[in-house]
Chains A and B, each alone.
Chain A
Amino acid sequence: ELKVEQNPLFLSMQEGKNYTIYCNYSTTSDRLYWYRQDPGKSLESLFVLLSNGAVKQEGRLMASLDTKARLSTLHITAAVHDLSATYFCAVAVYGKLTFGQGTILTVHP
């Protein structure tokens, strides 16, 4: 059974600081996703990572994938309040997604 583990599960950050969320998974996968979810809302796709060494950046967020280590990271640079949300990684195997537990990110002044 595929296991996907994120850490930390709760992250309280000051504005302007950097931090990294980690996503470990237990078996080979097709692709890895990062999603953002605001309270009561749907899943907003942030990144899709397809291959080993893939790195994608959008604004203050950067995601990377190491398929050998079965690890993905979501790096936050110079956090701002608008980034406060829950972030999920999800691992795809034959199209089916298995989600991590989510990281609740709170950015405060």
Chain B
Amino acid sequence: EPEVTQTPSHQVTQMGQEVILRCVPISNHLYFYWYRQILGQKVEFLVSFYNNEISEKSEIFDDQFSVERPDGSNFTLKIRSTKLEDSAMYFCASSVSGELFFGEGSRLTVL
């Protein structure tokens, strides 16, 4: 069964460092999303991406965040200069007809 895959599963970084989280969506999907979940809290929308551009982003998705689909298969989330409060689980999701499929998540720990 096709699935969304994410790497790394866990990344530990120092505050101020750049981090790139990678996602391989399901191959025929057209819509891509990033969500995050701070430990013990609800899942929050970050950004949606369609047709090679951002279609919607939340207030959380500030100038420190960026997304791109560099090679037609990977979908990446970059955090330019990480802060302690960026520590969270980041989930990638993709869809083709409305139903979202989530990856296993990438846990980011900022020290």
Q: How many A-B residue pairs have CB under 8 A?
A: 46
A100 to B41, alpha carbons, bound, how many Å? 10
Number of residues from B at the complex interface, CB < 8 A = 21
Q: Pick the contact of A96 from B45, B101, B104 — CB < 8 Å?
A: B45
Q: A95-B100, A97-B100 are in contact. Are A43 and B95 (CB under 8 A)?
A: no
Task: Please determine whether A43 and B99 come into contact, CB atoms closer than 8 angstroms.
Answer: no
Q: Which of B42, B100, B104, B105 contacts A100 (CB 8 A)?
A: B42
Contact status B98-A42, CB under 8 Å: no
Instruction: Decide if A101 touches B104 in the complex (CB within 8 Å).
Output: no
Give Cα distance in the complex from A65 to B33, angstroms.
Answer: 25
Q: Are A96 and B98 in contact (CB under 8 A)?
A: no
Which residues does chain A contribute within 8 Å of B44, judged by CB atoms?
99
Chain B residues within 8 Å of A41, by CB: 104-105
Q: CA of A89 to CA of B105 in the docked complex: distance in angstroms?
A: 18
- List 8 A-B pairs, Cβ < 8 Å: A31-B98, A31-B99, A41-B105, A88-B42, A95-B95, A97-B33, A97-B43, A100-B42
